[in-house]
Amino acid sequence: MKLKLKQSTMWILVFVLLVSTSFSHRQAVLEECTAGVACARATTDGRPILWKSRDAGDRDNEVIWNTSGTYRFIAVITARNDKDSWMGLNEKGFAIINTLSSDLGSDAAENGKVMTHALGTCGSVDDFEAYLKQTNVTSRKTATNYGTIDANGGAAFFETAANQYWRYDAKDTADGYIVKTNFAIHGGCSGGIERYKRSQLLMKDFFASDRIDWKEIERIQVRDFSDKSGTPLSVPFSGNYAGQEAGYIPTDYAICRNVTVSFAAIQGVLKGEPPVLSTMWTILGQPATGITVPYWPVGATPAEANGPKTAPLCDAANDIRARIFPSPKVQAQADANKAPINLNTQMLRDSNGSGIWKITLPVEDQIITEGEGALQQWRNHSPDATEMLALEGKLTKKALDALKQAKELLENNKR
């Protein structure tokens, strides 16, 4: 018997299919990230670096202290979900991040859970590889590129499918570093190719000048705006980009995207240094609107970075973000029309040198200077966890105060 559908029923099915397809596409976009790893010989001070700009759907990110495993660790998570870690560092100096790589499989449900497990149980890059070998047999729900470093100088990426993985050590590359976006060498696709090319160009410049300094990644790369062709767009932007309102630029293909929700540059240690001096320099919120703060794997993170529901530090950055990017409603309309999401560069820095960056970036410089100064002292004697946590709290509060000032500036200019 042939089944005949009423015309109204057919239209409903078509609508559901279109919505689900659009949603799936949107989810894939939201889970894209830009990341990299550099081994000791590629960096200015001989300490490995691991970094990631996180692109995701939920803008509420936190830095938590997790004691559930063999090793204690700090991690950036989506607020209220400590089962999935998206970048983190444990007390042994092992750190891990990831980027989605859907060309390695369709099921990535355990990408974050694997990182939580690894941070709690792995003391080195080799330990993580042993875990992947073990779970090759039992299978994983992973389709991702995992970046890792450790206190022994390990620095590697693992392209990780459900039952296979492929290891790439940074030391085996020409210049000692690897950049990743959302495709795998063993996958064959090109997800995030624009960000990959732009990141590669920036890293080449960093390396050529004086090898790689994590601060170049944090200040220049993570806040880099470029269009689909890879042309960098200045802040402030003068003129009308593609007919848009003066000062507005698209961010869909930039490293600093409308969907970027946090960032971390994890700086490792020299061999022989205490592993707990590995530092996770972290921005909660969209990088253009947030401020970098250092965190160490020695104890509970400050309340400003890990609130009862959301992190006040991230909330403040998100409040600013809402003023320089479109509202969720406008963004949804742009998605439906396949239109770019535009950023108002004049609010970051205008032609007179004013804007939120006049407040946030100098404070960020102060925080980095104070954090690096403390690290230098701690490297000369056994660090005290209480002292380290006190500095964490002080610098996190300083960042939050600056973001509140920046928000007030925008509110006053709107009046």
Distance CA 402, CA 382 (A): 32
What is residue 334's predicted lDDT score, i.e. its pLDDT? 67
pLDDT at 21 over 50: no
pLDDT at 16 over 60: no
What confidence category does residue 161 fall into, taking pLDDT thresholds of 50, 70 and 90?
very high
Mean pLDDT over 73-88 rounds to 98
DSSP code per residue over 177-225: EEEE-S--TTT---TTHHHHHHHHHHHHHHHHHHSB-HHHIIIIITT--
What's the predicted TM-score (pTM) here? 0.91
Mean pLDDT over 79-86 rounds to 97
pLDDT digits (tens, 9 = 90+) for 249-258: 999 999 999 9
**Domain coordinates of the chain in residue numbers?**
33-414
Do 88 and 98 contact (CB within 8 A), yes or no?
no
pLDDT at 244 over 50: yes
What is residue 149's predicted lDDT score, i.e. its pLDDT? 99
What is residue 19's predicted lDDT score, i.e. its pLDDT? 34
pLDDT digits (tens, 9 = 90+) for 328-369: 565 666 667 766 678 999 999 999 999 999 999 999 999 999
Q: What angle do CA 139, 142, 144 make, to 5 degrees?
A: 140
pLDDT at 15 over 50: no
The amino acid present at 104, given as its one-letter code, is L
Contacts with 33 (C-beta within 8 Å, 6 or more apart), sequence order = 52, 53, 54, 55, 97, 98, 99, 100, 181, 182
What is residue 8's predicted lDDT score, i.e. its pLDDT? 44
Distance, C-alpha 299 to centroid of its chain? 22
What is residue 32's predicted lDDT score, i.e. its pLDDT? 84
pLDDT at 7 over 50: no
* First-to-last C-alpha distance (Å) of the chain: 69
The amino acid present at 248, given as its one-letter code, is Y
pLDDT at 5 over 90: no
What is residue 263's predicted lDDT score, i.e. its pLDDT? 98
Contacts with 368 (C-beta within 8 Å, 6 or more apart), sequence order = 215, 218, 281, 292, 294
What confidence category does residue 245 fall into, taking pLDDT thresholds of 50, 70 and 90?
confident
Helix pair angle (357-378, 385-414), 10° resolution:
170
pLDDT at 29 over 90: no
DSSP code per residue over 304-368: TTS-SSS-HHHHHHHHHHHHHS--HHHHHHHHHTTPPPEEEHHHH--TTS-STHHHHHHHHHHHH
What confidence category does residue 4 fall into, taking pLDDT thresholds of 50, 70 and 90?
very low
pLDDT at 393 over 60: yes
CATH architecture for segment(s) 33-414: 4-Layer Sandwich (3.60)
Do 145 and 160 contact (CB within 8 A), yes or no?
yes
Do 94 and 152 contact (CB within 8 A), yes or no?
no
**Across the chain, what does the average pLDDT equal?**
91
pLDDT digits (tens, 9 = 90+) for 100-144: 999 999 999 999 999 999 999 999 999 999 999 999 999 999 999
